[in-house]
């Protein structure tokens, strides 16, 4: 399963929260979650205190193995290029990069991986990010002396975890992963376990809260509490959310058209995760609009949990840990 025994510490730094996971990878044995820390905050000024606390608890140096990238103006594209020698292949991929990664050369960070082939062509996963956006994201850490050995798109972290969790169960199918966060949602289409589409959509739980706030004329805090626990006001909340659920569903439909010339086949299953996925009525609306089966995904399946850890953090945060845990599976 994993080449050797090693500890990996990952960071998932979203718009309103931070998660840190420490996982022990042990060859063919189940990985062990040794540490898991979550904090929601309204200001980056809270970050140094949180990092100091995590560093002390994990007895770690000022070094993380990997950070998951959100909202950094990333491009992910699945392209086909001819099977060429190494020099000509680099030229062909650079040509695709110029087309699909529209950042200035000095602002462009690009990586690629050959993930399959068909006839005389390679299937290439092409990923690009805007350098300044990445530097802005990691600045709160690097300003305090922390370093990262690797950065990974959040969508690829989700892919890692999905393939680890389900192994061969969906190897012959195409599925959708939709991670609804606070500010962004990550949309991934997997074909035979390979990520064909990864997009970040600028809609999430915070926007859902705004619709409740505006429709029901209440404060943001009141709207957030009502969203999480609508009680006997469920119908009011659903009515308030219906316009944004429609927009959200339409955005997902549009996202499915970004496959280019690659036929992904029929998609029947969507794995809905993330803190925003708990919003009342979202699961039902998406299932109906997209004509897909909404499936559960336990991110802890396949892991062992260190007996010293409190189960409470897992019970309440389970829907929010997929990216953080997926980033540890190098």
**pLDDT for the residue numbered 241:** 97
Rounded Cα distance between 64 and 70, Å, is 17
Using DSSP's 3-state secondary structure scheme, residue 3 falls into: coil
Which pLDDT tens digit goes with each residue over 41-94?
Answer: 767 677 778 878 888 877 777 778 888 887 667 888 888 899 999 899 999 999
Q: What is the pLDDT of residues 150-184, one digit of tens each?
A: 888 999 999 999 999 997 888 888 899 999 998 88
Confidence of residue 268 (pLDDT cuts 50, 70, 90): confident
Rg (the chain; Cα; Å): 20
Q: What is the mean pLDDT of residues 1-11?
A: 79
φ/ψ of 311, rounded to 5, equals -70, -15
Residues 6+ apart with CB under 8 A from 111: 127, 128
State the virtual CA torsion across 236, 242, 244, 246 in degrees, nearest 10.
170
Q: Under the phi-then-psi rule, with left for phi > 0, alpha for psi from -120 to 50, and beta for the rest, what region is 37? A: beta
| CA separation for the pair 167, 162 (Å, rounded) | 8
Distance CA 223, CA 54 (A): 31
Please enumerate, as own/partner, the contacts of 283-291 that have beta carbons within 8 Å and a separation of 24 or more.
Answer: 285/242, 285/245, 285/246, 285/249, 286/178, 286/245, 286/248, 286/249, 286/252, 289/245, 289/246, 289/249, 289/250, 289/252, 289/253, 290/249, 290/252, 290/253
pLDDT of residue 259: 58
pLDDT bracket for residue 251 (50, 70, 90): very high
Query: What is the structure's pLDDT at 205?
Result: 94
How far is Cα 114 from Cα 26, in angstroms, rounded to an integer?
Answer: 27
Tokens (6 digits) for 298:
């336990």
Task: Extract the tokens encoding 115.
Answer: 């993930």
CA separation for the pair 276, 298 (Å, rounded): 16
pTM above 0.85? Answer: yes
**What single-letter DSSP state applies at residue 280?**
T
Q: Are 299 and 307 in contact (CB under 8 A)?
A: no
- pLDDT at residue 178 in the model: 95
CA pair distance 289, 21, nearest whole angstrom: 35
Average pLDDT estimate for 10-30: 86
Q: Which of 96, 184, 152 is nearest to 326 (CA)?
A: 152
What does the pLDDT average to over 131-150? 85
Mean residue pLDDT of the chain comes to 87
Q: What is the DSSP letter of 240?
A: H
Task: Assess contact for 209 and 220: CB atoms under 8 A.
Answer: yes
Helices (H), the chain: 47-58, 86-100, 131-142, 154-166, 205-216, 220-228, 234-255, 282-290, 312-317, 322-326
Residue 301 DSSP code: T
DSSP state of 229: -
Which residues lie closer than 8 Å to 313 by C-beta, 6 or more apart? 36, 38
């Amino acid at each position: 399963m994993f080449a050797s025994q090693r500890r990996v510490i990952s960071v998932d730094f979203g718009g309103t929260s931070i998660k840190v996971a420490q996982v022990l990878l042990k060859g063919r044995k189940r990985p062990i979650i040794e540490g898991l820390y979550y904090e929601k905050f309204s200001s980056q000024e809270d970050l140094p205190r949180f990092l100091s606390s995590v560093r002390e608890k994990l007895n770690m140096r000022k070094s993380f193995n990997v950070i998951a990238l959100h909202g950094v103006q990333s491009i992910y594209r699945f392209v086909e290029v001819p099977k060429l020698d190494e020099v000509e292949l680099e030229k062909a991929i650079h040509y695709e990069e110029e087309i699909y990664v529209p950042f200035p050369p000095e602002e462009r960070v690009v990586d690629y991986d050959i993930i399959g082939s068909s006839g005389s062509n390679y299937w290439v996963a092409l990923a690009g990010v805007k350098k300044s956006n990445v530097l802005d994201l990691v600045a709160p850490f690097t300003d305090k002396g922390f370093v990262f050995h690797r950065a990974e798109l959040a969508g690829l972290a989700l892919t890692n975890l999905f393939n680890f969790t389900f192994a061969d169960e969906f190897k012959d199918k195409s599925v959708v992963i939709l991670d609804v966060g606070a500010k962004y949602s990550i949309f991934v289409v997997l074909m035979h376990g390979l990520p064909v589409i990864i997009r970040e959509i600028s809609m999430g739980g915070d926007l859902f809260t705004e619709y409740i706030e505006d429709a029901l004329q209440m404060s943001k805090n009141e709207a957030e509490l009502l969203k999480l626990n609508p009680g006997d006001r469920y119908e009011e909340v659903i009515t308030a959310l219906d316009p944004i659920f429609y927009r959200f569903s339409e955005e997902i439909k549009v996202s499915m058209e970004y496959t280019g010339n690659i036929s992904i086949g029929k998609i029947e299953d969507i794995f809905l995760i993330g803190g925003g996925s708990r919003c009342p009525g979202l699961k039902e609306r998406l299932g109906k609009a997209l004509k897909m089966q909404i499936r559960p995904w336990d991110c802890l399946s396949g892991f062992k949990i260190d007996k010293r850890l409190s189960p409470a953090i897992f019970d309440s945060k389970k829907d929010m840990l997929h990216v953080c845990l997926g980033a540890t599976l190098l």
